Amino acid sequence: MAYVGATPTRIPLTSSDLADSIVTAAKIATDAVETVKVKDLNVSTAKLAADAVTNAKTEFTPGLEIKGDGSSAAGKLTLNCEQNTHAVHIESPAHSAGAGYTLTLPTGVGTDGQVLSTDGTSSNQLAWIDAVEAKPTVTAISAIIPPSVATSVTITGTNFASDSTHVPIVEAVSSTNAYTRASVVSWTSATSISATFNLALGDYRVRVENPDGNAGMSTNAILQASTAPTWTTAAGSLGTFSAEAAISETVVASSDSAITYAKTSGSFPGGVTLATATGVISGTETGSSATTTYTFEITPTDAESQVGAAREFTMTISLGASGGGQFN
């Protein structure tokens, strides 16, 4: 039976009530129908005005389609609050975007503090992730670099991130808080980044900023732009000395930090030793029975553990013209 005018409350509609030109917005007023079940039936928006239906259960196959208006308004799903004073909207991309996509919900349930995000693939599979991604940490660097020379280093740490179009920003921070950005950055993994710097002489902290804006910086200066030790003292003979004489000679290398010296090959005359902090070779010669030339190499190392070239030196202990005795 069809009804003309408002349908009495609590009387269900029949299929004949849904014939064209019979069902009106007034007939399906919110005070007359609490739930309308629509199955395999097209109902125009004119018949189901926005304020005419409280709840709608749809059983279309394969799903519900919310169309645009054919002009300027895209299809949009609106979820109102219980008082209908504010809402969340899910809206289609504009026609000008020229493309659409499907968002696929995850199979599992997230934990407290997580949000849904795409997994970074073309499938647009949603996944649960932490609402605030962890900040990167910077713990170590692979090498000391020469000053004013573009040099690549490997930075290690945690939570390094990249996406399909962006790599992290990597910067060297000087003692005066001047920032120098790496000219080349290559993301290797969440724990490793390669970066190329051209830096003035000095010590630097290293800062890494992920594409999402999260950033972290090393606690200490872990990047040094420093020169390796270079020799000032010429290679070769340090002198000829009489047997049992007091000897004191100094070898000198230069660097931008403190240097220590080590004998890395050869031997000194008896009774002679090297002061590693100063490069002084000293002592009272003992044990020579003939004129002898002693050959040895000394290697300098600076405070940044940079090792200079080993340099060869000699000392001659003389026992007089004939080599048979010492004359005073």
314 and 277 in a common domain: yes
Tell me whether residue 94 is in a domain. Answer: no
DSSP, residue by residue, 221-253: --EEE-PPPEE-SPSEEEEEEETT-EEEEE--E
pLDDT for position 179: 97
Question: Domain holding 312: CATH number?
Answer: 2.60.40.10
Tell me whether residue 292 is in a domain. Answer: yes
Domain count across the chain: 3
Distance CA(193)–CA(72), nearest Å, equals 46
Tell me whether residue 285 is in a domain. Answer: yes
Tell me whether residue 171 is in a domain. Answer: yes
278 and 245 in a common domain: yes
245 and 295 in a common domain: yes
CA 41, 44, 45, 50 torsion-angle sign: negative
Q: Is 260 exposed, middle or buried (0-12, 13-18, 19+ CB in 10 A)?
A: middle
pLDDT for position 11: 57
> How far does the chain reach from its first CA to its final CA, in angstroms?
142
pLDDT for position 133: 65
Domain of 286, in residue numbers: 230-318
- Tokens 């000394």, residue? 298
Tell me whether residue 244 is in a domain. Answer: yes
Tell me whether residue 215 is in a domain. Answer: yes
Last residue of a domain, one of 225, 259, 284: 225
Tell me whether residue 258 is in a domain. Answer: yes
Last residue of a domain, one of 225, 240, 265: 225
Q: Do strands 76-80 and 87-91 pair parallel, antiparallel, or not at all (unpaired)? A: antiparallel
Distance CA(262)–CA(277), nearest Å, equals 9
pLDDT for position 325: 42
304 and 242 in a common domain: yes
206 and 181 in a common domain: yes
Alpha carbon 224 to its chain centroid, in Å, reads: 20
221 and 143 in a common domain: yes
Q: What is the pTM of this model?
A: 0.49
pLDDT tens for the chain, 328 residues long, are: 454 555 555 555 555 555 554 555 555 554 444 444 544 455 555 555 444 444 455 555 566 778 888 888 888 888 899 998 998 888 888 888 887 777 788 888 877 767 777 755 556 778 777 666 689 999 999 888 999 999 999 999 999 999 888 999 999 999 999 999 999 999 999 999 999 999 999 999 999 999 988 999 999 999 999 998 999 999 999 999 999 999 999 999 998 889 999 999 999 999 999 999 999 999 999 988 899 999 999 999 998 888 999 999 999 999 865 444 444 3
286 and 270 in a common domain: yes
289 and 259 in a common domain: yes
- Nearest one of 119, 127, 191, 187 to 159, comparing CA atoms: 191
> In 3-state terms, what secondary structure has residue 321?
coil
Tell me whether residue 79 is in a domain. Answer: no
Contact partners, residue 48, CB within 8 Å, separation at least 6: 25, 28, 36, 56
pLDDT for position 204: 96
294 and 247 in a common domain: yes
Taking a C-beta distance cutoff of 8 angstroms, is the pair 28, 34 a contact?
no
153 and 207 in a common domain: yes
238 and 289 in a common domain: yes
Distance CA(261)–CA(47), nearest Å, equals 95
Last residue of a domain, one of 225, 254, 283: 225
115 and 143 in a common domain: no
Q: Do strands 215-217 and 223-225 pair parallel, antiparallel, or not at all (unpaired)? A: unpaired
Encoded tokens for 328: 């005073």
